[in-house]
Amino acid sequence: MGSESEPFTVVLLRHGESEWNNDNRFCGWVDVGLSPLGQEEATIAAEAIAASGIQINMVYTSLLKRANITMEKIIQVANLNLTRNNVIRDWRLNERHYGALTGLNKADCVQKFGAEQVQTWRRSYNVPPAPMEDNHPYYKVITNQPAFSGSITAAQIPRTESLADLINRTIPFWKSEVEPNILAGRTVLVVAHGTSLRGIVKHIENISDEAICKIDLPNGIPFVYQLDKNLKPIGARKFLADPDTVRKAVAKVANIVPGPK
């Protein structure tokens, strides 16, 4: 554990590739698992954290199993000695809710709505997709997910979200729950999702609404911040992978019409 006189360390990690990442589908709050590649990415991420020498003693994650499985792999492979109280699962770290787009293939949406519209839904700051109605094929799937039982009510589950909407739930949680533990000297790992982590990155780096829309975070590659006593970054975020691996992983996430596998 650090002290108030030292830089504070925070590690952020987007879960390994999910089954629906692999299928190029809008996932959001549907509780899918990891693809075989995602399982491998989680192991590689765990090995990178172990090799870094960073001593993690507090972990936060969402209620969704693609993040939870990744987190559990980190704990196992990196041999983190954590008590139950030091592993926090909270719905406010869940992925953005994609509303009526949930379950749809992104490439099919480009064909139907056009690339510009789909990219607006994916990467704009304050434009949400159409809301999920009660008759949507995944509405009851989401509201009845066992992982949500006792942690969030049906009324709290959003029908759709923009990045701005997501930030309005994620950053108050970050400020009230995570930052006090950072300031207490705990080295925090957050295993979450592409958009929920973009909101946290925006907050940490004080990135503009426009600039954050141009940032993509790769699956399965941890990145590290050193923070000062005001929780401002000391230097740039540092990925625990070589630059070429990071570049390829970011390009894969950004591409909504992938080529043949």
Catalytic residues: 15, 95
DSSP string, 121-190: HHH-SS-PPPPPPTTSTTHHHHHT-GGGTTT--GGGS-S---HHHHHHHHHHHIIIIIHHHHHTT--EEE
- State the CB neighbour count (10 A cutoff) for residue 27: 23
Q: In what order do the strands lie in the sheet with 223-227?
A: 87-89, 58-61, 188-192, 8-14, 223-227, 238-239
Judge contact between 8 and 183, C-beta under 8 A.
yes
Judge contact between 129 and 101, C-beta under 8 A.
yes
